[in-house]
Chain A
């Protein structure tokens, strides 16, 4: 089968399959219809299937599994993740296949036991993920960004626009942070007026700063999406120009526009 695909005609077939598939996906712009949905379902199926293959092979190629296959007794602690994975798999499969079914008394008992066992590796995974995220956020974002904002590159007596920019950056950082964490109606309701007024002014600045930033972000996003469309158009125009049909269409078009 692999030899078949390496033949020249397979490349041409792949090109046209890809082109037709692209047109079907793009046809979703015209509205939700069967062919566009079919293309989306096929894409999802292919992506999921590919993910399964890549994941399975990466698990098999991992150091843990490789060492167990070559020398199972050498590092016995490597059996722990394998055991946990097996337990999680069985418990997960039981849970998946039990959906929508009324359980019998016996299967409910087993299900309960499996779920309790399967919860351990699942919760361990979630816990590690949460811990990693939390520690990373503190070490990699909160601390360095706070220190950078606090330093603010302000030097007394410096001339030029530098100090003004530094002050502006500091003020906007603080006001944006305040706007992010303070709900004016809820938090300021009970406060005296001499607190409410200045805080509301700061929140006003923070909100405007965020709106400006959102506009800038939108502009950069637009450039990004235009790049994707441009690349797609460039790819297909370049690819189809080398085909007979593409050359015919190009000749016809030049006649139409009088070029």
Chain B
């Protein structure tokens, strides 16, 4: 029975995927009168469903933390703090007549969300330094090549006063080399990666469809 149910789900997905492909393809056609209307209406519906899915995701997180608190698992007090803050923010936003732009919600954004997120990302440079220590090594596989690419771009992007250091001409030539490096070999390699990943996506989609039909 489980196999029948999941087989049915697979076929439903394949069918919906085919319909979605046709829908997306039609909405991208020029000169088809219905294309614009289909696109505007269809994606409006998708946005609503996606919003609801996001809210369900938050409910899942809430339930996870509630279970943690009820079972008294490790860090349950932190889960309690998370839920308390979440409830306070949601209550503030939904009960205030001004909604998203209410002063209290803006205060929460300015005092907690903005500084917290900024601090979290500002810490990343320390971990990047650790990664550089670990991976940019001459003896390591590919390390020399990565180090070469890294040093060339780093040297040029750092705002040294080359004239004061007596490196005016050299830095100018190095800057030209770095510009060429980024616009030619690096660009070419990354284009290869883009093509490869797009092809892989196409092949996976075809394989999925042809495997099921």
Check: A155 CB closer than 8 A to any chain B CB: no
Cβ contact within 8 Å between B13 and A127: yes
Q: Which of A2, A6, A228 contacts B96 (CB 8 A)?
A: A2
Q: A120-B12, A228-B124 are contacts. A174–B192 as well, Cβ < 8 Å?
A: yes
Output the residue of A45, A62, A209, A214 with the most chain B CB within 10 A.
Answer: A45
CA of A85 to CA of B50 in the docked complex: distance in angstroms?
9
Cβ contact within 8 Å between A93 and B116: no
Chain A residue at minimum C-beta to C-beta distance from B87: A49
Cβ contact within 8 Å between B114 and A18: yes
Q: A17-B112, A177-B196 are contacts. A84–B119 as well, Cβ < 8 Å?
A: no
Report how many residues on chain A are interfacial, defined by Cβ distance under 8 Å.
Answer: 123
Interface residues of A in 123-182 (CB under 8 A from B): 123-128, 130-135, 137-139, 141-142, 145-146, 148-149, 165, 168-181
0/1 string, B106-136, CB within 8 A of A gives 1: 1111111111111111111110100010001
Give B153 Cβ to nearest chain A Cβ, in Å.
4
Check: A44 CB closer than 8 A to any chain B CB: yes
Give B75 Cβ to nearest chain A Cβ, in Å.
7
Cβ contact within 8 Å between A220 and B157: yes
Q: Which of B117, B142, B193 contacts A43 (CB 8 A)?
A: B117
Check: B189 CB closer than 8 A to any chain A CB: yes
Q: Which of A53, A99, A134, A213 contacts B186 (CB 8 A)?
A: A213
Report how many residues on chain B are interfacial, defined by Cβ distance under 8 Å.
Answer: 116
Q: Which of A29, A165, A176, A212 contacts B149 (CB 8 A)?
A: A212
Residues from chain A with a CB closer than 8 A to the CB of B16 are 123-124, 127
User: Total contacts A to B, CB within 8 angstroms?
Assistant: 374
Residues from chain A with a CB closer than 8 A to the CB of B154 are 219, 222-223
Chain A residue at minimum C-beta to C-beta distance from B45: A81
Q: Which of B56, B63, B108, B201 contacts A88 (CB 8 A)?
A: B56
Cβ contact within 8 Å between A57 and B189: no
Residues from chain A with a CB closer than 8 A to the CB of B12 are 119-120, 123
Residues from chain B with a CB closer than 8 A to the CB of A142 are 195, 198-199, 202
Cβ contact within 8 Å between B89 and A211: no
CA of A41 to CA of B146 in the docked complex: distance in angstroms?
37
Can you list 29 residue pairs at the A/B interface with Cβ under 8 Å? A5-B104, A22-B118, A43-B117, A45-B81, A47-B117, A52-B89, A88-B56, A89-B55, A92-B53, A120-B12, A124-B49, A137-B197, A138-B202, A141-B195, A168-B184, A169-B187, A176-B196, A180-B195, A207-B142, A212-B146, A213-B189, A215-B149, A215-B151, A215-B152, A216-B182, A218-B146, A221-B128, A222-B132, A226-B125
Enumerate the 6 nearest inter-chain pairs by beta-carbon distance, A residue then B residue, closest first.
A215-B149, A176-B192, A49-B89, A53-B93, A180-B196, A45-B85
Residue numbers of A with Cβ under 8 A of B are 1-2, 5-6, 10, 13-15, 17-19, 21-22, 25-26, 28-29, 37-59, 62-65, 77, 80-82, 84-85, 88-89, 92-93, 96-97, 99-100, 119-128, 130-135, 137-139, 141-142, 145-146, 148-149, 165, 168-181, 206-223, 225-226, 228-229, 231-232, 235
